[in-house]
A = this chain, B = another copy of it.
Amino acid sequence: MKIEYKDKIVAFYQKHGRLPGYKEIMNLLGFKSKNAVFKLINRLVEEEVLNKDAMGRITLNNIFNEIPLLGVVEAGIPETADEIKDNTLNLEDFLVENKDSSYLLEVKGDSMIEAHIEEGDMVLVDRKGTAKAGDIVIAEVDGGWTMKYLRYDKGGQAYLEPANKKYSNIYPQYQMRIAAIVRAVIRKY
């Protein structure tokens, strides 16, 4: 199997956002027969590059939205592209549990710096779900918005704790509303 074939089809997918049709594959790969495409597709399905559903329609296997996961830093990075595809990760699927209720926010300030969340980081938050003690939450408290640890004191009273000794705990005076739970931190250099 010429790897070139697979690459060209994947490249088409990247460029157009859909897989090429039979005629397009013929042009793409220089085939003169539709049956050559048919057989190629079946080979690719065998190799689990493509999927064919009940209607015979083909889809690209997830592999190509995924990033190889190579283990820990100390193990280093292999030179060959061989053992790589054993374990891959789709960032979106990994990070986002509820697509409908997830949002990104940019972090200002250093109030969570000891939790290793720094200014300029992005936090992925989910509005669904119930916050537990110890979760980092986005809360509206007494009219302002903030990101802090959610804690409960001995009396069962909820309060917010910053991860920075410079700031003090926040006990809501009037009302506090947990708007979202921080599910992930993303920092880009």
Q: Which residue of the partner chain, among B60, B77, B184, B185, contacts A17 with CB atoms under 8 Å?
A: B60
Q: Which residue of the partner chain, among B55, B99, B182, B187, contacts A185 with CB atoms under 8 Å?
A: B187
Contact call B57/A18, Cβ cutoff below 8 A: yes
> Interface range on chain A: under 10, 10 to 19, 20 to 34, or 35 or more?
35 or more
From A57, A60, A127, name the one whose CB has the most chain B CB atoms within 10 angstroms. Answer: A57
The distance in angstroms between the C-alpha atoms of A146 and B77, with both chains bound, is 11
Contact call A123/B73, Cβ cutoff below 8 A: yes
Contact call A67/B116, Cβ cutoff below 8 A: no
The distance in angstroms between the C-alpha atoms of A70 and B182, with both chains bound, is 14
Binary contact readout A79-110 vs B (1 if CB under 8 angstroms, 0 otherwise): 00000100001011011100100111111110
Mark the stretch among A28-36, A132-140, A153-161, A164-172 that contacts chain B: A132-140
From A94, A105, A106, name the one whose CB has the most chain B CB atoms within 10 angstroms. Answer: A105
Measured between beta carbons, the chain B residues less than 8 angstroms from A70 are: 103-105
A112 to chain B, nearest CB (A): 9
The distance in angstroms between the C-alpha atoms of A14 and B188, with both chains bound, is 27
Measured between beta carbons, the chain B residues less than 8 angstroms from A5 are: none
**Which A residues form the contact surface with B (CB < 8 A)?**
14, 16-19, 21, 24, 51, 53, 55, 57-60, 62, 65, 67-77, 84, 89, 91-92, 94-96, 99, 102-109, 113, 116-118, 123-125, 127, 135-136, 138, 140, 144-147, 179-180, 182-189
